Every structure is written in C-alpha cells, then in structure tokens.
Chains A and B, each alone.
Chain A
C-alpha cells in the first residue's frame, strides 16, 4: 500500500475548482436532450411538442439546483460527473417519452391491462427525487469517512435489502425475476439501493481486514493462497450471490455484487490470487446454476442462438426469451450506422419492457451505431472519472468506496449493454439513468452524489500548515 503521504505539495497551489467548467458542460447536458425532445415531436406529430418548454425548464431547474448545491457544498468536486449524469438522465426521459407515444405499446397495454399511463411524467418525478437524493447526500454527508462508522450496520441493511423480495406478500414476481417489492402501490427494486450500501460495507470491512487478507498467505504455484479462515468473507458473499441467483432468478444482480466484491478485494489486498479465485468461483457457480435453473437456461439458449432457438425452444418461457432477444437484435441491426432518427424507428416492436430493460435497443435503432457508441463512451467517462476519484482520494476508505461504486457501475453497464447486444446472456437489470424505473434513477443519483463527495475531499486543497512558532528566525523571550 502506498498512501500518498505528502499531498501538501499539490494542495499548496490553489487548485481551480472547475465549477464554471461544470456549468458550461451542464448547459450542453440540458440543451442536447431538449433538442432531442423537439426532434421526437417533429418526427411523430410534425409539430413542435407542446411539452417542450416544460420539459426543458424542468431539466434545467434540476440541473441548476444540483449545480448550486455542488458549488456550495462540494466546490472542489469532479466537474464531469454531474453533467454526464444529467445528460444521460435527460436523454432517458426523451426516450421514455418517445416510447410513451408508440401506438403499438399503447395498444398492447390497453389489451393487457385495459389502461395506459405514460411513463415519462413519473420518470420526471423520479428524476426530481433522484436530484433531491443527490442534494441530500451532499448536504448531509459532510465527509464520506463518516460512513465508515456504519460498516456492520451496512452489512445488515444490505442483506435485508437483498432478501426483501423473497418475503412473501412483499416481493413481486415480475416475469420470472423476483427483484421487486411492492409497498403501497409503489414498486421498488431494493437491489439498486443494496448496491450502494454493500459498497460501504465492503470498503469499511476491507479497510480493516486487508492486511490480514493480503499478508497471511502461503505461496503455491506462484500465487499467494489465503489461509482457510480468511476465505470466510469471499465464501459468504459468493453464497449470498448464488442465493440471489437461485431464489430471485436474477443473474445480473448476483454477478454485479460478486464482481464488485472481487474488484474491491483485489484493490485492497493487491493480490492477483483473489481475482483468480473469484473468477473460478463465479464460473463454478454460474455453471451449476446455469445448468439447473430453467430461467437462466432459457436466457443462455437465447444468447447462444437467438434465431435458432425460436424453433427449438422447449417451453413458453424459453420461447419468450428467444423472441425478445431476436427482436432486440433486429432492432439494433435495423438502426445501422446512423439510425432511423428519433421517433422514426420500430423499436416498439419489443413489446415487453421496451422502456426499461430494453431501452438501449431504442438508442440502437433510432440513433444507430454512432449514438450507441456515444452513450457507451458517456458511461465509460463516468466510470473513469469515478476511478480517477479513487486514485486521488487520500484515505483508503474513500479509495475503496469510490472504486467499488465505479466498478459496480462499470459492471452494470457491461452486463446490461452486453446483454441486450447479445454479447453475454441477458439479465434483468437496467441501464443507469436511461431506463424507466424510480429505484434505479434515485439510487444512481445517490451514487453520483457519493462520488462527488469523495472527489471533493480528494481535490480540496489541504489547509495551509499552521505556522509553527519554532520556525521563527529569532525568538524573543520576554521576561
């Protein structure tokens, strides 16, 4: 471990706060979605959409509030994170609004539920709540190291959150995956919040235990193997991940948590052996569950040969999975390089979860290869700014927390985008900020809030050393 001990040399120079850079970028992050909104309206109705002013003002207001709060409470934070999240959130709103106007999705909804309600207004509200969460994090959490105190409480809270969907009467089974709970008319995805709490727990735990995990080991075939009793934590996390996979039928969540833990373990201990072990355990777990759980099996079949499995599917569940996959792939393929243009594609042919799990297909079809690459790079930038924050952080807890959150974010992007593009089997997670869903938006705004808090601490100039009386050239001793 090499904690940067002498940071005063950097801090001594007055570091620019970069708040004005952030403001300029935020202007783009608001204007681009507003243009996209206009684009959708013109493409669908041929006239300027009535809600454009409201939408633009709403987004600008949210971005403005967030910016002012950052200016006041986290003046030295990373200038890219807020604009990136705002842009993604704004574009997500546009895409959801676009899908709200699809006559096909409206007809499907009328057929199935006898009613249709647009999702964009609720998503706008969730975004507002998300920004409120972001503000709350920055105002209330003056120093991220406070979280360290709640290490073991975090563990309990995250376990409860993860297992809540299994509680009878509370959990809701949505098309096979049990990752939802229903409280008073609201559906909540506790896994999204568990992501944050677990990162806190892992950071606190690993900061304390990392020496034991790193140093007490035997060397075997070039790898440092940990002692048996040190294996406890990784085995526990592994078991919990498998439980999630088996009982909640959610490959994505389980992969995300296990992956996040392995990354943090590696960063904390600097031992490659943990990665090797983690990979082996993940492969073993996935192989066992993949060959037994029917839900996972159909997803794998749909991944291996989506078009072929339409004919060979053994049950309705598998057929649905394959059909979704082919629809999503054809949606991407039909987009081509430049896409059909917003509002002009047929991504609404994916009649199930078009604006949540599969929203990236709409990006693919309507904005094309170019648009998808832009979105992937935007996500990539968030991840790398997060890791940059981890590098700059001065305390090990902050390093681990920033790394854990950015790592989880990266894994989530990979699992979701890789899933919808057929790179890996599809899992039931959603694109952060883009997809419809309150839990996801709120939790991810909190995530950005925490990263901004850590980066503010990391970039804040260290206080000038107090003048030491011994350093004076001469001492006048008065009697």
Chain B
C-alpha cells in the first residue's frame, strides 16, 4: 500500500502548492487592482478614517470634518456656505465618492500622499493622530459672494480671474447644491443625492467650467484680436468696407444686424454697437485657419486643468467659409465655457499675455509646511501689447459709450472695459437667449480682475430684455467692485 500512499502524498502536496500559487496571484499580482477597485470601500474608509484636511479661502477653511460616530466612516465632511463654494470644492461623500478638488487633492486632504510620508512617520512616533493637509485656494471670498449673490435665482455662472497671474478669484454656478446634504451615506443622504440627480435644472453641473455655451457677441473680441494681429485692421477707427446686408459666403442670406449704423463701421464702432456684418466679414477676411490659430492661442479646443478639468471650448476647425463667418460672431459651432471667456478677457487686460488659470495656490502639510506652491505660469501671448491696448480701448468704449454701460464702476482711477453678448440658441432660436458679459477693471497698477458672466435663463424677463448689458453686466460690476474693494 505504500506506493499509492506516496502518490497521494504528492497529490496532497500539489493541492497545497496550487493554493500557494493562487494566493501569490491574488495578493501579489492582483493586489493593486483589487486594492484600488472601484467596489473596494477601503478607499473611502481610508478617506474618512482621519480628520480630513481643509480647503482654505482667504485664510479661513470653507470645509470641516465632524466625528460621525459611525463604525464604517469615522469622519464626515461639512461645508460652510456649501452651495456658494460647491463649484470650487466639489464634494466628498461617503456614499458617492468625491469630485473636483476633494478628489484631485485627496491624497493631501487624507494625509496619505507620499509627500506627507515624513509627517505620517513623525506622527507615529509622537503618538499624534494622523491628519490631512490643507489645500489653500486662490479664490477671494468677497468676489465669490458677489458672484453668487448676483446670480441669485437665475441659472448661470461667473468666473473671475486675476489677469496678471491667472489666479481664479471667483467660480460660481447656479443653481447650486449643498455638498453637506449628501456627505454621509444614510437614507437622508441618498434622498438628497437622488433628488439632485433627478433635478432637471442640473444643480450638480459646474456651469463655470463644465458647460459650453454659444458665446454670441462676446466672441467678437477674439475676432477683433485676430483682425488686428493678422494686419487686416491696423487703425481701429478707420472705416471697414462692409456694406449693410453683407452676404454670408456660400449663401444667399445677408448677415443681419440688430442695430443701425453698421455700414462700413470702423472696428471700434462695430464693437461698440456689436455689428454682426463687420465681424463676420472680418472673420472671413482673416480666414478660418488664422481664426482657429487665434482662438487656440486663447485656449480654445483644449481642456484646461485648474487643476479641476474644464470642458474644451470649441472653435470649428473644419468649417466652410460660411460657417467660419458665422463662427466669427460666436454662432455656428462656436461654444465656450465661462472660464474660457474669462481667460480671453484676462489676456486682453494683461496686455496680451495669457496666464494659465489656476485655483490651488498651495498645498500645506498638517504642520503648516508648504508642500507645493503653484506659481503663475504663462500660457501664451495671443496678441501683442500694442494690439491688446487697442482692444482695451475698444472694450472701454463699449462700457463708457455703448451696450455695457451698466458695468461701469464709476471709480476714480479705475477703467472698465467690457463686451456684451446675447447668444441665441435652440431650434429657430426659440429658446431664451443666453445673456453674456465679459469685462475687466484696470487701475494704474494694472488689471486686478477680469470677469465672464453668463445668465442662462432669466425668470420673469421679457425676451427682448435679455441682453448681456442688462442682466449680466451688473453681476460683473459687483464682482469687480468686490475685488477692488477687498484689495483696498
């Protein structure tokens, strides 16, 4: 009986060996995949196991952590003025993961980032509790408050940037949501989440960076920049050869203007009264490829990382001549995020130099050591300083004598330049138009702020009244005022 016994011994050995192999496969080869699997709640448990670091605005936290006395997730996220700051912070929910800064800087906020290794090790020896680091933002509480209040019950978004650095000062989107309402994982949190998901006004959508809108007339400043840079226009006060009723190329339709006086209007005048015909013809003269080049220098056709990702704004690269002419006045396939228009404005206000927009100023370890400092970074130079100054002159004209009068700050030593836009959209333009306004303020020391405002749907306003100058300009004004005041 010993021969089969030996064979069975080998067989039993093989069974154990198979288990050992399988275990190596599971715990070595597949360990990372299983450890970071989307279904693995350990990631979330770890996220809430310790007091989470905070997101800081103006030196004060806009987030917090409370001990939720829960066996699964120890700490729960809280937010101060949640709806106002939601487009900046995003959310960190025990049941629904996290997004935006809460997700991108999760490593710092939880304290698990490799850069915090030393702090963790030190805390282990001193017996301190592990704690997350803080994310200090570039935002300005005053500007954000002005933007959020200005939007009120309207659907819309506001982005304000400091032109000289690219620091994002305000990032508001309405209607908004309170991330505290679903920070946990109870039935109440689920109800709040489901309600937000179902809400047809899409409150969770970050309109400031994730929604692309037809820009309409505010895009004309890009076309003006292209006309100046390409040399098609050198003197902004010289008449352009544009007949009233200029025909759209490849089409028999004439380009319609909404105001009189556009025939052969100069660039300056055409921007002031927002002549479609002049800018469509200029776009056509400059040509598609040059227009695309200019738009892309301003940041079109690319996602921006602030570090929160924005949608890519669009300037059609394949449009035919007619399409290009319409694109040049912000119609056809042209679409842009509010952030993109704020970038355009900021570049012009900063004498033609576009700074990369960002909203995380620095990352700070629990012991207040700075782990990472983000410095202003130049993205491109879409227009020369001379042409930028011409553009500023024209935009200031819009505010002082044209459609943007409501944005004028009337402050000594502060010049304001802007552009209105009323973008029509929907089948046969049947939907309520979008009211746009872009503007910047400028003092002797340079420009402290550039703003882009969009108001999607203005409740209780007659269609005719919806215009960038009427609805959006006052919000831009409030934001600029808040920034200048807070800078003293």
Contacts and interface: CB of A to CB of B under 8 A. Distances in A.
A69 to B, nearest CB: 28
A430 to B, nearest CB: 16
Nearest to B74: A103
A5 B465 CA distance: 113
B238 interface: no
B39 A307 contact: yes
A474 interface: no
Interface string A395-415: 010011001001100110110
Interface string A329-372: 11011111100000000100100000000000000100011001
B1 interface: yes
Interface in A370-397: 372-373, 376-377, 379-380, 383-384, 387, 390-391, 396
Interface stretch (B12-20, B194-202, B334-342, B454-462): B12-20
Interface string B3-34: 11110110011011011101110111011111
Interface in A168-215: none
A376 B17 CA distance: 9
B42 interface: yes
A352 to B, nearest CB: 15
A107 interface: yes
B45 A376 contact: no
A423 B4 CA distance: 26
Given A103-B71, A387-B8, A1 B1 contact: yes
B18 A418 contact: yes
A307 B30 CA distance: 14
Contacts of A104: 71-72
Contacts of A161: none
Given A106-B71, A307-B37, A423-B22, A346 B42 contact: yes
Interface stretch (A263-271, A289-297, A449-457): A263-271
Contacts of A336: 27-28, 31, 35
Interface string A272-314: 0000000000000000000000000000000000010010000
B26 A332 contact: yes
Contacts of B28: 336-337, 369
A86 interface: no
Contacts of A373: 20, 23
Nearest to A377: B16
Contact count band on A: 35 or more
Contacts of B6: 391
Contact of B35 (A333, A400, A406): A333
A337 B30 CA distance: 11
A363 to B, nearest CB: 10
A316 interface: no
Nearest to A417: B19
A180 B34 CA distance: 34
Name which of B2, B20, B27, B31 has the most chain A CB atoms within 10 A of its CB. Answer: B27
Contacts of B23: 332, 364, 369, 372-373, 376, 421
A326 interface: yes
Contacts of B41: 346, 349
A102 B71 CA distance: 8
A365 to B, nearest CB: 9
A413 B16 contact: yes
B22 A330 contact: no
A418 B27 contact: no
Interface in B38-85: 39-42, 45, 71-72
Interface residues of B, number: 35
Contacts of A413: 15-16, 19
B26 A333 contact: yes
B39 A330 contact: yes
Contact of A410 (B12, B20, B32, B33): B12
A6 interface: no
A2 interface: yes
A411 B19 CA distance: 12
Interface string B172-188: 00000000000000000
B19 A414 contact: yes
Contacts of A334: 31, 34-35, 40, 42
Given A266-B4, A330-B34, A336-B35, A383 B16 contact: yes
B271 to A, nearest CB: 56
Nearest to B7: A266
A400 B33 CA distance: 45
B1 A376 contact: no
Contacts of B15: 410-411, 413-414
B5 A391 contact: yes
Nearest to B30: A333
Contacts of A421: 19, 22-23, 26
B75 to A, nearest CB: 14
B22 A418 contact: yes
Given A384-B9, A391-B2, A337 B27 contact: yes
A267 B12 CA distance: 13
B34 A396 contact: no
A199 to B, nearest CB: 14
A313 B81 CA distance: 42
Contact of A384 (B12, B24, B35, B40): B12
A406 B13 CA distance: 12
A422 interface: yes
Name which of B16, B20, B31 has the most chain A CB atoms within 10 A of its CB. Answer: B16
A245 B35 CA distance: 35
A385 to B, nearest CB: 11
A21 B390 CA distance: 96
Nearest to A379: B16
Nearest to A264: B8
A330 B42 contact: yes
Contact of B33 (A310, A333, A418): A333
A387 B40 contact: no
27 contacts: A1-B1, A2-B2, A103-B71, A106-B71, A266-B4, A266-B8, A307-B37, A332-B34, A333-B31, A334-B35, A336-B28, A336-B35, A372-B27, A373-B20, A376-B23, A380-B13, A384-B9, A384-B12, A387-B5, A396-B1, A399-B1, A406-B12, A410-B12, A411-B15, A414-B15, A414-B18, A418-B18
Give 3 closest A-B pairs by Cβ, nearest first.
Answer: A333-B34, A103-B71, A369-B27
Interface of B: 1-6, 8-9, 12-13, 15-16, 18-20, 22-24, 26-28, 30-35, 37, 39-42, 45, 71-72
Given A329-B34, A335-B31, 16 more contacts: A102-B71, A106-B71, A263-B8, A307-B39, A337-B27, A337-B28, A364-B27, A369-B23, A369-B27, A376-B20, A377-B20, A384-B9, A387-B8, A399-B5, A400-B1, A423-B18
